[in-house]
Homo-oligomer: A and B are copies of this chain.
Amino acid sequence: MEIFRGRRLWIEKRMIRSPRGTKMERVIIHPNSAVAVLPVEGDRCKLLRQYRVAIDQFIYEVPAGTMEPGENPEETARRELIEETGFAAQTIATRGFIYTTPGFTDEKIFLFEARDLSPSDEYSKDEDEIIEVVDIPSAHLRGMIRDGTIVDAKTICLIHLCLGC
């Protein structure tokens, strides 16, 4: 049964049968698939300092966004990287995907590492987002995860997968 359908999410209530045969109600959130991309430049990375309405806070995140109709994940990664940082990547490598929180959503985020960056002509900042691009030495990222400065799950996963730190 549909609870809600919006531009970014649709939400359904589903009756399922447990292993014991009990009927259970589950609410499942279906967002569009998304990508996240870690831009790496020598011994530094670019992260965003971004305001998030849901948690009413600024947090550190990698560039990320949802896939538009007709896009494949790599195309979305290239587009979002330009839109959010102003840099285009010559090299984009896949780093797999994650399920963000499969207890209530099927959201899947495809992960990419971007290298060989150069300022993009196509850059036009999305004025509906509050974003600051910050350049951080890769060697600092492990400490920023340990001390709770970086708390965004996709960002931690991507740093782990790209830098193994």
Interface residues of A (CB under 8 A from B): 3-4, 6, 8-9, 11, 13-14, 16, 18-20, 22, 24-29, 31, 34, 52-55, 59, 61, 64, 96-107, 109, 127-130, 142, 145-146, 148, 151-154, 156-157, 160-161, 164
Complex Cα gap A34–B153 (Å): 14
Identical chains in the assembly: 2
- Chain B: minimal CB distance from A151 (Å): 5
Looking at chain A's contact residues, is the secondary structure mostly helix, strand, loop, or mixed? mixed
Task: Show 28 A/B contacts (Cβ-Cβ < 8 Å), sorted by A.
Answer: A3-B4, A3-B11, A6-B13, A6-B25, A8-B104, A16-B53, A18-B128, A19-B127, A19-B129, A20-B128, A22-B128, A29-B29, A31-B103, A34-B103, A52-B99, A52-B103, A59-B99, A59-B102, A96-B151, A97-B148, A98-B151, A98-B153, A99-B151, A100-B101, A101-B109, A101-B153, A101-B154, A156-B161
